[in-house]
Amino acid sequence: MQLFIDAAQKPYNFYLCPPLNYSEKLVHIIVKNGGNVVTDLSQNCIIIASKEQPIPKELNNAHVYSYEVIQDSANRGAQQEFSNYLIHIPNNNNDSVPQQYAHKTRNEQMDLNLNDSNNNCINDNINNDNSNVNNSVVDDDEEEEDDDDDEIEEDEEEDTLQKNNENRITINNSKIQQETNYNDALGDIDFENLSRSLVNTGHSYETMTMTRYEDTSVRYFTAEEDMVLKEELRKRHWMGIKGHSVYDIISQLPYFRNRHRTATSIRERMRTLKFNLGYVYQLDANHRIMKDANGKYLRTTMITNKLTAYTASDDLILCKTVYFKLDIVTDEKGFETVIFPTNFYDKFAVVYNSHSAESWRQRFKNYISIFGITNYIKYYIMERQQGKTPLPVNLANKEWLQARKHIKKTDCPRLFFPHVPQSNDFIDEFIEFASIPDYDGRIFEFENPFRKMIAYNDNQSVNNDIGSRSKVSPKSLENYGNIDDELVKEDQRREKENVVENSVNDENKNSNLNILQESQKTNVSDSQKSSMPLFTPEIEFVDEPTTEFMETPFKKLQRKHGKPIKFEVVNDKSELIKKIRQIFHEHPNKISPKELSKLLLKVGVQEYYTVFLIYRCTSIKSSVEECIVNCINTNGVQLLAMKAGIWSNKSIQMFLKHDPELDKVLKSYHGEKAYAKQAKWIKTSKIV
């Protein structure tokens, strides 16, 4: 940021009077903001000194400014008026009276100081007490006597000035309770080596006492901080005073960063103040503050409330992401507890950037956690099934929200969300109704560090890679030929005939059943029985027909190219089935997906449907053939046949739950090899 430059973009030259020239921090602020620090008065420069130090005699004929102009300019991000910080002007009597104070009464001047937003700088005294600099860090009680003497001297000086001229006064600021850190300007002085430095440069340290100030202020917001906060909001109201982004920017200002104020605490402070600004500054098209003829900021009471409202899609995508990617624990009252990794919302906001990370976090905390994650997903599905438009979570059922807030604070029995099934199986069965077109093409890769795959038998181990549930946006299927290599490799490793594949499945099924039977014979303690999951290994998988695509890419391709099979190409279904069987009969060993798609397209089978079948049938040609024939026999209603090795929508939904017991059911039905193939396909192809 270039603060200390002139109209010609040339840097200001600053001359720092001792001991300010030893403050590395002050020099750094000047250089960082575009200025230069000079060591002599041979060139044009701005002289900076401290009000607590006497002005050197050689500077009696010069204008001298307080170091606070540098500090305030850096804190506020804008160059301040130097005339407001004038501490010495040349006059006939060489009196150090600032020009702007020459014709004001004492009360007027005190009001002026109190209204200045940054006049609360600590005036730590640099006294002429002839004490050693190494012992200069003292308590307030030790300096109290010296402060009283200084006050008497200032009062005597004021009386003298008032007798000479009633309008010429000086202001005693030494007793005003001030909060801003004077040590910000002098904090980098090496106290232990200062005496040696001063001696080497010809200065005497015996004429000063340095008091270090440590910022240990109370975390309550002060009146000054409130005033600065409101002023910064008035300049940036176009970003929305009730949002989160504007507070992220304000929290990075040096003024608040030095006070360790975070964006969250600043926004909460404004909520406490009811977002009451009173007025804001008028801005032009480039968001620059407009001024009147006198150079003053133009004010207006038309305050911008740029707050992006949450939609039902926003709430649903957050609920679905938490439901599928994080672990949820429900207590006896029905409230869900979720452990969020520290980087979850940051990554989430990068993908779904309609709101900031803090906004997503507050949305979940204030509404979704109270409404219920599964409750809202069920509500959304029910509304879509009935042809209605779902509402955001804060409007879906206000009475339910109020009741849940009351239950959370009191000892009341559990309430169940009305008009929706209690079991979460409802979500798995009808998850296709929870599709979100607005977010179809977005990628959100996230690995839950807290998730651990826990097997029912301690001797069994589960591969966490298979259990990963990264859900990323699909690649374009227009160039589906890119997946040929992966499918051909998988095809080469499988058996030549489907009989071998089925025999492997039967062996896996029998081996799994034997393991389950042996595990049932073992003694299980009561605590282990109570902790057993809902889906026990004894449950047998019952498949359901797949009548629609659940993957967004295939849905889009269906809308673009039409139905999976063009029945108008061949009027006779038996003739169409005969041609399809002939294609597979002519290629008994292996065939690339691209070549197979072209051959089937000639008889009316869409290319995207062929790719879909290869994906769901784990590259088994006989299963692909069976699914096409089944689709023809059902007039295009059923996309897949129901048999082991063919992954229906229900199988995919159970797999995406990544429940260890559900995985066992799938392995028992499809076989270990088919399960591993499907898991690898989902992970590499990034279709689901």
pLDDT tens digit sequence for 416-451: 888 888 888 888 888 888 888 777 667 787 777 766
CA distance 175 to 122: 10
pLDDT tens for residues 535-574? 444 566 788 888 888 888 888 888 888 888 887 766 678 8
Domain 13-207 classified CATH 3.40.630.10? no
> Is 605 strand, coil or helix?
strand
User: For the chain, what is the radius of gyration of the CA atoms?
Assistant: 38
Confidence (pLDDT) at 317: 92
Which is more confident, 606 or 77? 606
How far CA 470 is from CA of 204, 318, 326, 433, in Å, comes to 68, 15, 11, 21
Which stretches of 103-203 are DSSP H helices? 106-115, 140-164, 183-186, 191-200
**Which has more confidence, 223 or 442?**
223
Structure-model confidence comparison of residues 112 and 593, the more confident one: 593
User: Which of 282, 284, 252, 280 is CA-nearest to residue 77?
Assistant: 252
SS3 (DSSP) at 300: strand
The per-residue pLDDT for 91 is 63
**pLDDT category of residue 322 using cuts at 50, 70 and 90:** very high
On the 0-12 / 13-18 / 19+ scale of CB atoms within 10 A, 59 is middle
- Summarised one tens digit per residue, pLDDT across range 302-319 is 776 666 788 999 999 999
- Exposed (0-12), middle (13-18) or buried (19+): which is 19, by Cβ within 10 Å? buried
Choose among 126, 127, 64: nearest CA to 91: 64
pLDDT class of 674 with cuts at 50, 70, 90: confident
Mean pLDDT of 397-401: 89
> How many other C-beta atoms lie within 10 A of the C-beta of residue 597?
22
Q: How confident is the model at residue 135 (pLDDT cuts 50, 70, 90)?
A: very low
Between CA 549 and CA 554 the distance in angstroms is: 6
With CA atoms as reference, report the closest residue to 238 among 273, 270, 285, 275: 285
Mean of all residue pLDDT scores within the chain? 71
Per-residue pLDDT at 363: 92
Beta bridge partners of residue 471, listed in sequence order: 444
Q: For residue 255, how many other CB atoms are within 10 A of its CB?
A: 23
- Pairing between β-strand 36-38 and β-strand 46-49 as defined by DSSP bridges: unpaired
Which residue in the block uniquely carries the two structure tokens 């499918």?
Answer: 487
Report yes or no: 247 and 166 within 8 Å, Cβ to Cβ.
no
Q: How far apart are CA 444 and CA 348, in angstroms?
A: 7
Q: List Cβ neighbours of 661 (8 Å cut-off, separation of 6 or more).
A: 456, 533, 534, 535, 536, 537, 539
- Per DSSP, 180 falls in state B
Closest CA to 54 of 208, 272, 157, 184: 208
- Which of 48, 42, 41 is CA-nearest to residue 20? 48
Q: Which of 126-135, 154-163, 212-221 has the lowest mean pLDDT?
A: 126-135
Residue 474 · residue 687 · CB < 8 Å = yes
Which has the minimum average pLDDT: 88-92, 450-454, 538-542?
450-454
Q: Packing angle between helix 621-633 and helix 607-616, nearest 10 degrees?
A: 120
Query: Using CA atoms, how far apart are residues 27 and 416, in angstroms rounded to an integer?
Result: 65
Say what the pLDDT of residue 621 is.
Answer: 84
- Give CA separation, 118 vs 67, 99, 108, 226, 262, in Å: 13, 20, 18, 12, 20
* Residue pair 154/172 in contact by the 8 Å Cβ criterion: yes
Of 237-251, 470-484, 561-575, 604-618, which gets the smallest average pLDDT?
Answer: 470-484
> Is the preceding omega at residue 390 within 30 degrees of 0, hence cis?
no
One-letter identity of residue 201: T
The neighbour count for residue 293, using CB atoms within 10 Å, is: 5
Here the tokens at position 331 are 């207590």
CA pair distance 192, 134, nearest whole angstrom: 6
Task: For residue 683, give every residue at least 6 positions away whose Cβ sits within 8 Å of its Cβ, in sequence order, or none.
Answer: 465, 468, 470
Summarised one tens digit per residue, pLDDT across range 603-641 is: 889 988 998 898 888 888 888 988 998 888 888 888 998
Average pLDDT, integer, range 105-115 = 41
- For 418-447, give one letter per residue: b (16+ CB within 10 A) or e: eebeeebebbbbbbbebebeebeeeebebe
Residue 522 has pLDDT above 90, yes or no: no
C-alpha torsion 363→365→366→372, nearest 10: 100
DSSP 8-state assignment for residue 171: -
Exposure on the CB side of residue 322, measured as CA atoms within 13 A: 28
* Stretch(es) of the chain classified as CATH 1.10.10.60: 223-300, 312-439
Nearest-angstrom CA–CA distance, 375 and 396? 11
Ranges assigned E (strand) in 222-377: 280-281, 299-300, 328-330, 336-338
E strand or H helix at 48: strand 46-49
Q: What is the pTM of this model?
A: 0.35
| Total number of residues shown for the chain | 688
Amino acid at 53: Q
Write out the two tokens for 24. Answer: 């590395």
Q: How far is CA 20 from CA 41, 82, 371, 544, in A?
A: 15, 18, 59, 81
Residue 182's pLDDT band (cuts 50, 70, 90)? very low
Six token digits for residue 646: 């063919």
Q: Kindly report the CA angle at 323 between 322 and 327, in degrees rounded to 5?
A: 80
Task: Give the homologous superfamily in CATH for domain 223-300.
Answer: Homeodomain-like (1.10.10.60)
- Report the distance separating Cα 249 and Cα 231, nearest Å: 14
Could you please report the per-residue DSSP string of 149-160? HHHHHHHHHHHH
Tokens 């009633």 belong to residue = 166
Per-residue DSSP letter, 11: B
Give mean pLDDT, residues 177-194: 42
Phi-psi region of 686 (alpha: psi -120 to 50; beta: other; left: phi over 0): left
Element (H, E) at 670: helix 660-670
> Does the pLDDT of residue 74 top 60, yes or no?
yes
- CATH 3.40.50.10190 residue spans of the chain: 13-207
> Which residue's structure tokens are 């007039």?
635
Question: For domain 312-439, is the CATH number 1.10.10.60?
Answer: yes
Could you tell me if 21 and 53 are in contact, meaning their C-beta atoms sit under 8 angstroms apart? no
- pLDDT higher than threshold 80 for residue 346: yes
Q: How many CB atoms lie within 10 A of CB 266?
A: 22
Let me know the angle formed at the C-alpha of 533 by 531 and 536, rounded to the nearest 5 degrees: 125
Structure tokens at 234: 């008035």
Name the nearest CA neighbour of 392 among 318, 471, 307.
318
- What are the phi and psi torsion angles at 154 (to 5°)? -70, -40
